[in-house]
Amino acid sequence: MILAIATVIYALITIVSARVIAGHLAYNMMQKHNRDLYNRNHQINTPNGDMWFGAGILGAIMGILWPITLVVVITPFKAGAESRHEARLREQYVKELEERLEIH
């Protein structure tokens, strides 16, 4: 009985807390949206530090991935089922040649 009462009280506290937190986050999101909308309508575009940091990180990632992607696209790299299939084809070809040339 005590556990049930404690669970109900805990659930009520959690629901009230979640409602307050959700309301706060919704209000902040709406304020940010209004600021962004004002800036967009008045053509105010000033990136902040987070934007510069994100752009730098994205640039670094692209700088690392682009040469790797280029190497993978240029080189005839095969993996998995494709490489096993080609190995089987090579073995078949060698067996056919051995049979034709009578090499056993």
Give the pair of three-digit tokens for residue 39. Answer: 């800036």
What is the domain range of residue 34?
Answer: 1-46
Q: Does residue 7 fall inside a structural domain?
A: yes
Q: Does residue 42 fall inside a structural domain?
A: yes
Q: Does residue 77 fall inside a structural domain?
A: no
Q: What are phi and psi of 56, to 5 degrees?
A: -65, -45
Q: Does residue 21 fall inside a structural domain?
A: yes
Total tally of structural domains belonging to the chain: 1
pTM higher than 0.85: no
70-104, pLDDT tens digit by residue?
887 788 777 788 888 989 999 999 999 998 888 86
Q: Does residue 97 fall inside a structural domain?
A: no
Q: Which long-range contacts (CB under 8 A, 24 or more apart) does 40-49 make?
A: none
Q: Does residue 18 fall inside a structural domain?
A: yes
Give the pair of three-digit tokens for residue 84. Answer: 């096993």
Which residue from 32, 35, 34, 12 is spatially nearest to 24, judged by alpha carbons? 32
28-67, pLDDT tens digit by residue?
999 989 988 888 788 777 778 888 999 999 999 999 988 8
User: Going by C-beta distance under 8 Å and a sequence separation of 6 or more, which residues neighbour residue 74?
Assistant: none
